[in-house]
Amino acid sequence: MSARVAVLASGSGSNLQALIDDCAQPDAPARIALVISNRREAFALERARLAAIPAQHLPRSRQESRQDYDARLVEALQAQQIDWVCLAGWMLLVTPVFLRAFPSRVLNVHPALLPSFPGLDGAAQALAHGARVTGATVHLVDEGCDTGPILCQGAVPVLPDDDLARLQARIHRVEHRLYPRALRLVLQGQPRVQGRVVYFDGQPQARTYEWFEG
């Protein structure tokens, strides 16, 4: 039986689209069973509707604590029997309330080669730092900010005439390759975390890296 995956997205949802497309493959081990956005106008919700996936707008009210919001989020996810959660441009920090409900079952994608450039605007940080190589990381989410165990990383060059938009576009393209692969790996590879290192006992030779110059 396919795993039931929810995607949480605040923005355009291009990573959501990559996950939807991969889960449409006949051999996919997952189906995207729910998409939630905190922003009504997020194009991610429209992408879900176009793919006939249940889509919910779940705004956080101003007076609501992060914990209270996450409790409502967990309720919405559990109502749909969600097994795994993929954050895809989710602009809210998740709390222990959320992580305890999905222990080691929350993935995130970050636009840098962690541990370099955590936090906001990973691509802009890499440009300002003068990095010559940057990339993207899919990792398990823990209570830190972009600190969880790494599943896959993809590297891209920073080119001499890059501006932020060009670099971001290149990083997005490598994210779109990595995220579906990382999701397949956690579903099929029997992940085991030892220290900070994730081993895939079911697929010990799994390819967990990517180079993308295009």
Closest CA to 167 of 202, 117, 207: 117
CB of 131 to its own copies, least distance (A): 6
Closest CA to 44 of 28, 29, 58, 30: 58
CB of 143 to its own copies, least distance (A): 17
The site for its own copies (CB under 8 A) is made up of 113-117, 127-133, 135, 137, 149-155, 157-158, 160-161, 195-200, 204-206, 208-209, 211, 213
Q: Tell me the C-alpha distance between 210 and 207, whole Å.
A: 8
CB of 142 to its own copies, least distance (A): 12
Residue 21 and residue 35 in contact, taking contact as beta carbons nearer than 8 Å: no
The residue written with tokens 């990383």 in the block is 153
User: Could you say which of 110, 139, 172, 176 is catalytic?
Assistant: 110
* Cβ nearer to its own copies, comparing 11 with 149: 149
Question: Is 110 one of the annotated active-site residues of the chain?
Answer: yes
* Cβ nearer to its own copies, comparing 1 with 197: 197
* Cβ nearer to its own copies, comparing 53 with 206: 206
* Cβ nearer to its own copies, comparing 43 with 200: 200
CB of 136 to its own copies, least distance (A): 10
Q: Which residues touch 134 (CB under 8 Å, ≥6 apart)?
A: 111, 112, 113, 116, 117, 122, 123, 126, 155, 156, 158, 167, 171
Active centre residues (catalytic)? 110
